[in-house]
A and B are shown apart, each in its own frame.
Chain A
Amino acid sequence: MTRRQASDSETDRMLEREIEDLLKVDVPADFIPRLHARIHHAPLPSVWTFRKMCFAVTTAVVVAAVLLLAFIEPHKTKSDTPEAPVRVSTDVVAPETSPVEIVTKLPPPVRVKLAKEQTSKQKLLISAEETRAIRRLLEGQVGPLPANLANSLAMPEVHGELVVPQIAIKPVEVPGPITVEPMIVGPAITEEGV
């Protein structure tokens, strides 16, 4: 260490000591009691807010639980009693005159049971003729189209060329020169009118 470096570090130490002496102030004796008094009068710390919040949350949870229980209980008693099975039939019922059977290799249909009243009123979904047509289609027995249907679907034949007549636009004749005469304004009429 050179002499200059040594003197520099000595000056630094002196400066440090001086600053420490400057800042070495004693806390006044009444500081802490005054602080306690101020804190006592200060708004409540966040722990109080936290406590209130916790209380509010707990209350809300309890109320929600009670309501939930009150709501669930009646439903639970209902479900305990045996209910009449609801049945939904997917069977296709054809008119008695033409009984039709649709045979598919799909797994057996899920039967959702409806009320008894509904089972008695089964609606006709597909007519017997449509059923027969679907059956033929599935079996690959599709024949030629009927003559009237084939005619309506066929494209019309074009005979000869299409002739578009020429359209000529003639200019409109103006009968004479148009003159605009200046407008003569009379004396101004005031509100009084005289």
Chain B
Amino acid sequence: MHDQAQSIAGVLLTMERDLKQEFETRLAETSSLAFRIAYGVLRNSEDAQDVAQESLTKAYRNFSQVRDRDRFRAWLVRMTWRLAIDRLRSDRRRTAREAIPLKTSDPQTPVQAVLEHERADKLWRAIDALPEKLRIVVVLAGIEEHNIQEVAILLGLPEGTVKSRLFLARKRLKELLQ
């Protein structure tokens, strides 16, 4: 009886160690994804870090239920998006966030820097103006060069739906940017 209890405890410990190792692997794969999704909504590094950490902590707590790689990524994407949207709605520091200088590519002249800043600001505003369904598709397609199939897996949607939403989103963005 004692041996059996020991063997059960040993199996449980091994399971736990495996689970932790697996989570570390997933963390290495997806931490930047979670951060970028949060940043895509919040546009503030500190807030994005907070949200990404929150969603990854939740993922850690529920990891035994979402061990599969694809399921984990999809779960994390949706969780991070939802948390970021919630944070955005409840956050009172929105004006302060918008005042933070936006990251642009290396400008050659000050004029070019200003132009790039203005363009980025305009693009962010256009993205913010999109409905949530279209916005998440645009953000996911813009992160880590996800293709339509990958976005469809992440959102749990058919590829056709993602394709049409992306087309519609780009069309609206072009209209808003003109």
Contact = CB atoms under 8 A, between A and B. Distances in A.
Nearest to A39: B60
A185 interface: no
B152 interface: no
Interface string B34-68: 01100110000100110011001100111111000
A11 interface: yes
Contacts of B113: none
Contacts of B123: 18-19, 22
Interface stretch (B73-81, B82-90, B138-146, B155-163): B138-146
Interface residues of A, number: 31
Interface stretch (A41-49, A111-119, A150-158, A167-175): A41-49
Interface in A20-66: 20-23, 25, 27-28, 31-32, 34-35, 38-39, 42-43, 45-48, 50-51, 54-55, 58, 62
Contacts of B174: 11, 15
A58 B102 CA distance: 57
B35 A25 contact: yes
Given A11-B174, A19-B142, A35-B27, A45 B35 contact: no
Given A18-B123, A21-B105, A42 B35 contact: no
Contacts, number: 102
A95 to B, nearest CB: 65
A32 B27 contact: yes
A175 B19 CA distance: 106
B97 to A, nearest CB: 14
A22 B143 CA distance: 9
A16 interface: yes
Nearest to B57: A42
Interface in B1-21: 1, 5, 8-9, 12, 15-16, 19
Contacts of A12: 170
B120 to A, nearest CB: 6
Interface of A: 11-12, 15-16, 18-23, 25, 27-28, 31-32, 34-35, 38-39, 42-43, 45-48, 50-51, 54-55, 58, 62
Interface of B: 1, 5, 8-9, 12, 15-16, 19, 27, 31-32, 35-36, 39-40, 45, 48-49, 52-53, 56-57, 60-65, 102-105, 119-120, 123-124, 127, 138-139, 141-143, 145, 170, 173-174, 177
